Structure 1
Amino acid sequence: SIQELAIQNYPGNSFPNWIKDSGLCMLVSITIDNSQDCNEIPYLGDLPCLKFLFIQKMYAVENFGQRSNSLTTDGKHAPGFPSLEILNLWEMYSLQFWNGTRYGDFPQLRGLSISRCPKLTVIHRK
């Protein structure tokens, strides 16, 4: 029943598997801040209640948005980030690629801010 999660100054190269645990399905807000050595962001697009995602000062991350293979029961792909309203990416100096978005992802998005990500030049759609 956790609704807000803030991860600051995480020293590892990658996040532990529990961050994608179904027990976190009630998360509304996630902030990942100053995890400078971490080189990957877990895919968070399957979290059904996530409305606010702030990722900042992750200097080693080159890719964002790797999609899982979640499917709805009728065989169609479920939209990624179904409730996300605000997405902020800030000070991610190595970020080059935003991968795996599909038509229908981010259906509730009303605010997107990408700042200080000078190498981000490619957004791949599937």
Structure 2
Amino acid sequence: MTVDEVSAVVATDQDGAVVTFAGVVRDHDGGKGVTALDYERHPSAGDVIAEVARTVADAHPDVRIAVLHRVGSLGIGDVALAAAVSSSHRAQAFAACGALVDLVKERVPIWKHQRFADGTDEWVAAL
């Protein structure tokens, strides 16, 4: 699913704002060139991301939310995290989208395996 697709899930004719976020795979991390990246998830990740979305929706009752974190092999420039929040007003949509991305990064059990240009690799939480 792309950012445009998550945006289409939440947008209605009543909305004055649709805020989106694309977490994109970059070509470096910690001063090292990244050549490949794989995301893996715990079996509970789908339930956790749904709970995160509900938590944000409860805190921001006038918004609609769609969010997806991809797993598997991704290339440089690919979208790993796609999120969209719609609302009648932009302030609500921006606040909810920021909270959504932060909570996904904090709570959803997804890890990335990065391979570097120097031949090393590492596993890290997908923060």
* TM tier, smaller: under 0.3
**With CA pairs under 8 Å and 6+ residues apart, which has the higher RCO, 1 or 2?**
2
- For normalisation by structure 1, the TM-score amounts to 0.28
More helix, by proportion:
2
More strand, by proportion:
2
Q: Based on CA coordinates, which of the two structures has the bigger radius of gyration?
A: 2
